[in-house]
Structures are given as structure tokens and as C-alpha cells.
């Protein structure tokens, strides 16, 4: 591994990537911009991926016509310079034969970046301070690059449940003919919240980050809406109305699947993701520590979110 000094599962993930990259380079070089991955994605290893192992999955788990390619941050991408952790790769699943294949949905499994809690990034691209408090307090010019997330009462980390849900949503969207940009497919990706947003801005038509909140009241699902104090700042000024319409549509999709909804379905929050997004983008909180995170619930969340995404693009 030369200059790489990764340990444990991170080393394993890297090794799996290398094998997949090699297989792809032999089998399908030139088929796509970026690196073609054959042995990557799908069903069987989702479980393993959620528990921390690498998620190398057979290409046969992907619908026909779907290809997967690694995409990375490059310096020419807007706001790339504001990111502190950006060496990782996201996976772009192109649905060439899909009915909506030209539409790319960024599915971002929240958290899951080792070292993300100790790195800091500018809260807003223009250097202004945060207008609401969250993981980082209101007034802070710099925010946690990507926090580690909460833990469910049974000890399951939020990041694992987010990943499982994201993979179910990825599968649902590919089945319905959309293309998907998956930010994270394993327990760790070296992409902070700015890097994730930069990739979504570059490759996707919308961005949904999957989370569960840290309260313990079974409050229900909601999206983080845009606080008024952010609405005059670019790129938020050009984006927030679309993001709110997108969020409303996703919550509506969940509601129709009988998912419990918190209050009016939204809560104003100044998030790094919001501050840097140049297309419709939401942080979706599917519930909290008390919310059932069994497989059936997660499947319902994924189906409801997919319904909402579909309805948004159908308008
Ligand atoms: Zn979270």
C-alpha cells in the first residue's frame, strides 16, 4: 500500500476498491468517464456494509443497464477548496436504460467519516456565522466537518441505519429508472459535508441526506428547512425555494406511506449542506432514537422517500 497507512476496515475497503477497479479496467475500460466498477453495489452485502465491512457486491445485483463509477473531488469544482476531508470516492450509478436515467438523485447516508468530528470547515461559503444552533452553535464561523451521529438505544450507530436506508433508497430509485449518486457505500467515506455537497452539485439534480435525530421522543420525520436569515446568501438565495418544494414533496411521500411526521414536516436549520447547495437539497430526518429502525420500517422510509422524489420530478 506504499504511502497509505490505513488500518482495520478502512484498509479492507481500500483493497476491495482496488480489486474492483482492476476488474473494471479489464472488463469495461472506456465505457464511462471515471472508473468503472464491476464488483460493487447491490443487495447481499448491504448488511455487512452497514456493520462496517466493505460492500463489494456482484454487478448482477444491479438492474440491467446500470453502471457504477467512482467519482472524486477535483480542485476545479466550486467550493472544493472549502472542504477539509475530500480524498474519498462516491459511486455514480448511471441508469442508461432507465425511464428517468438522465435524472441523478444524490443519496447521502449521513455521518460515517473517520476524523470528521475533529476537522472544521467554514459554516458558510462567504464566511458569515451560522444563524441557528445544531451540532455547531449559532454564531460559529466554522463548523464540524462531519459529525459522528447518534446511537440508538440498542447500541446501533445512526450512521449504520442511515447507510441501510440509503442503500434501500438507492435500490428503489434504480428500479424506478433514476440514476443515483451514492455518497457512502461503507462504514467510512473520506468526504466531509462540504465535499458531499460539492459532488452532489456537480453530478446530481437533487440531494437527500438521510439521518435520524438525536432526540428520544419518536417525534416523526421532517426535513431541515432553510432559516430566513440564510435566504439572501448565495447559493442559498437561488436554491432555497426548490429545496423547500423538494422537502415538502418527500415528506408528503412518507406521509402517504403512513410514516409518522413531525409537526408540519420541517424544522428550520442552518446546515453546511444547505449553505453550499446549488440545487434542491435536503437533510431528511426520518425519526429519532425512539423510532423503529427494523428492516420493515426502513423499507417503508425508502419507498416513501422515493415516491416523494418521483412526484417532485413529475411536476
Ligand atoms: Zn444525523
* 104 in Cβ contact with 203 (< 8 Å): yes
Composition of the chain by helix, strand, coil, percent to 5? 35, 20, 45
pLDDT tens digits along 216-247: 999 999 999 999 999 999 999 999 999 999 99
Dihedral in degrees, nearest 10, Cα atoms 24, 25, 28, 30: 130
pLDDT tens digits along 98-154: 999 999 999 999 999 999 999 999 999 999 999 998 888 999 999 999 999 999 999
Closest of 159, 180, 162 to residue 116, by C-alpha: 159
Q: What is the pTM of this model?
A: 0.83
CA 152 – ligand 1 centroid, Å: 11
| Structural domain includes residue 117 | yes
Closest of 108, 159, 44 to residue 272, by C-alpha: 108
pLDDT of the residue at 60: 61
pLDDT tens digits along 243-286: 999 999 999 999 999 999 999 999 999 999 999 999 999 999 99
CATH number at residue 87: 3.40.630.40
CA 164 – ligand 1 centroid, Å: 13
Number of structural domains found in the chain = 1
pLDDT of the residue at 292: 97
What is the distance between the alpha carbons of residues 55 and 68, in angstroms, rounded to a whole number? 13
pLDDT above 50 for 52: no
pLDDT tens digits along 138-157: 999 999 999 999 999 999 99
pLDDT of the residue at 135: 83
CA 39 – ligand 1 centroid, Å: 29
Other Cβ atoms less than 10 A from the Cβ of 119: the count is 16
| Structural domain includes residue 40 | no
Judged by DSSP in three states, 91 sits in: strand
pLDDT of the residue at 136: 87
| Structural domain includes residue 292 | yes
| Structural domain includes residue 115 | yes
CA 146 – ligand 1 centroid, Å: 10
- Can you give the residue range of the structural domain that contains 257? 64-314
| Structural domain includes residue 183 | yes
| Structural domain includes residue 100 | yes
Say which DSSP state 44 is in. Answer: T
| Structural domain includes residue 57 | no
CA 99 – ligand 1 centroid, Å: 32
pLDDT of the residue at 47: 36
pLDDT above 50 for 197: yes
Amino acid at each position: 500500500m506504499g504511502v497509505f497507512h490505513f488500518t482495520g476496515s478502512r484498509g479492507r475497503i481500500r483493497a476491495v476498491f482496488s480489486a474492483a477497479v482492476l476488474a473494471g479496467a479489464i472488463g469495461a475500460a472506456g465505457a464511462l468517464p471515471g472508473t468503472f466498477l464491476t464488483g460493487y453495489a447491490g443487495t447481499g452485502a448491504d448488511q455487512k456494509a452497514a456493520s462496517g465491512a466493505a460492500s463489494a457486491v456482484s454487478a448482477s445485483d444491479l438492474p440491467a443497464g446500470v453502471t457504477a463509477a467512482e467519482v472524486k473531488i477535483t480542485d476545479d469544482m466550486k467550493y472544493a477548496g472549502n472542504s477539509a476531508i475530500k480524498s474519498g470516492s462516491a459511486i455514480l450509478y448511471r441508469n442508461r436504460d432507465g425511464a428517468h436515467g438522465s435524472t441523478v438523485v444524490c443519496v447521502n447516508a449521513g455521518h460515517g467519516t473517520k476524523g470528521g468530528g475533529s476537522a472544521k470547515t467554514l459554516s458558510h461559503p462567504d464566511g458569515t456565522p451560522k444563524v441557528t444552533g445544531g451540532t455547531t452553535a449559532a454564531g460559529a464561523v466554522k463548523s464540524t466537518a462531519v459529525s459522528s451521529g447518534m446511537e440508538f438505544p440498542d447500541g446501533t450507530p445512526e450512521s449504520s441505519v442511515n447507510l441501510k436506508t440509503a442503500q434501500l433508497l438507492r435500490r428503489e430509485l434504480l428500479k424506478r429508472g433514476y440514476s443515483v449518486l451514492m455518497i457512502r457505500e461503507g462504514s467510512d467515506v473520506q468526504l466531509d459535508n462540504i465535499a458531499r455537497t460539492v459532488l452532489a452539485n456537480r453530478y446530481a439534480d437533487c440531494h437527500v441526506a438521510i439521518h435520524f435525530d438525536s432526540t428520544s421522543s419518536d417525534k416523526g420525520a421532517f426535513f431541515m428547512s432553510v432559516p430566513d436569515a440564510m435566504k439572501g446568501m448565495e447559493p442559498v438565495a437561488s436554491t432555497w425555494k426548490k429545496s423547500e418544494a423538494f422537502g415538502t414533496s418527500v415528506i408528503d411521500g412518507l406521509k402517504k406511506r403512513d410514516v409518522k411526521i413531525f409537526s408540519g414536516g420541517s424544522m428550520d436549520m442552518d446546515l453546511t449542506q444547505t449553505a453550499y447547495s446549488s440545487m434542491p437539497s435536503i437533510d431528511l430526518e426520518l425519526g429519532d432514537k425512539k423510532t423503529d429502525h427494523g428492516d420493515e420500517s426502513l423499507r417503508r422510509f425508502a419507498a416513501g422517500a422515493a415516491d416523494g422524489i418521483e412526484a417532485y420530478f413529475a411536476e
